[in-house]
Amino acid sequence: MTLDEFNRWSPDEARDALLACAHVDRWAEEVAAGRPYATVEDAAEAALTAADPWTDDEVDSALARHPRIGERAEGEAADASMSRSEQAGVDTSDDDVTRRLAEGNRAYEQRFGHVFLVRAAGRSAEEILEQLTERLGNDAETERANAARNLREIAALRLKGMLTA
């Protein structure tokens, strides 16, 4: 969709489209309410700060829609398609890296109770594995903040991609 189309949509249509970027109702409503945006960058900037801070329930809701790094999202929904696109650079042809990502994902989930989340777009599997390994050493509060920050970055990138597609 174009920015002009997004700016003209009803609040409900805009909110529904935004939920594919981040499944946080309050965030989607606030970004939709900020329209019209002059540029795609303005919309993406708003996405980074809307409804800040997210509650624990909102973070959990958004995290629940993200597949593990190295696993491809299933289905035809817009958020699944976006996730597959974001992880396109995560080459899982190296069995050792794939195994280590899977082990790291399991260890992370056991330690923190949710999926490991990082902005995957433009990053290799090795770079992501390095971040995963590093972040396993964090405490729960630090990691919760990392997850929330990454969720916002991903939402802003998804919105930007949606408006420039």
* Span 48-84, pLDDT tens digits: 999 999 999 999 989 888 888 766 646 555 554 454 4
**What mean pLDDT is predicted for residues 94-119?**
91
Give the range of the structural domain holding residue 96, as residue numbers without chain letter: 3-162
Q: Are 79 and 73 in contact (CB under 8 A)?
A: yes
**Gap between the Cα atoms of 13 and 18, Å rounded:** 9
pLDDT at 93: 61
pLDDT-derived band of residue 121, with 50, 70 and 90 as boundaries? confident
Cα of first residue to Cα of last residue in the chain, in angstroms, is 6
The domain total for the chain is 1
Q: Model pTM?
A: 0.82
**What mean pLDDT is predicted for residues 81-99?**
63
What CATH number is attached to the domain comprising 151?
1.10.3330.10
